[in-house]
Amino acid sequence: MAVDEHVLARIHRLKTLTVDVRAGLAVRHYKVVKSAEPGDLVLQSVWKGKEIHADNIRKRFIAPAAAKLHLGTVNWRTLRTSCATWQVQAGVDVKSVQGQMRHTRPSTTLGIYVRRSSPKVNGARLQS
C-alpha cells in the first residue's frame, strides 16, 4: 500500500519530539515516542511508554478530534461500525471482515456492524 511521503515524514518527526509536563514547580521532559520498533505500541503513555487504557485514548484523542469535526459522540462501537462498513464498501470479502471483527458468524458482521449506505454494501453477500 502506497503511503504519502508527507505522512511518513510526520511519523518520523514524532520520534524527535518531547513533551513538557509540569510537576509542582519542576518541569519534566518526556519523549513523545518511547520506542519505535516494529512491534511497539502506536499510542504509548507519556511517562513509561506502556499501554494507554482504552478509555484514556477515547477521552484524550478521539473525543477531542470528533468535537473539532462536529461529529457528535464517537466511541469504540462507532469506530468498529465505520471500519466494517468501509471495508465492505471497498470490496473486502465479508468473511475477512468477520475474522477481523472476531465475530463467530458473518451475519453478525453484516446485520449489526455494517451500515447499508451504498450499492456495494447493499449487495454484499456471504460467500461460502
Of all helices (H) and strands (E), which one includes residue 6?
helix 5-14
What are the sequence ranges of the domains in the chain?
5-52, 54-123
End-to-end CA distance of the chain: 28
Q: Which three cell numbers stand for residue 125?
A: 453477500
Look up the pTM and report it. Answer: 0.56
Q: What is the pLDDT of residues 65-80, one digit of tens each?
A: 999 999 989 998 888 8
User: How far is CA 74 from its chain centroid?
Assistant: 12
The CA–CA distances, whole Å, from 9 to 39, 42, 61, 83 equal: 20, 16, 21, 25
Local structure of residue 119 (DSSP, 8 states): H
Burial class (CB in 10 A: 0-12, 13-18, 19+), 43: exposed
Q: What is the pLDDT of residues 76-114, one digit of tens each?
A: 888 888 889 888 888 888 899 999 889 898 888 888 878
How far is it, in rounded angstroms, from Cα 35 to Cα 41? 8
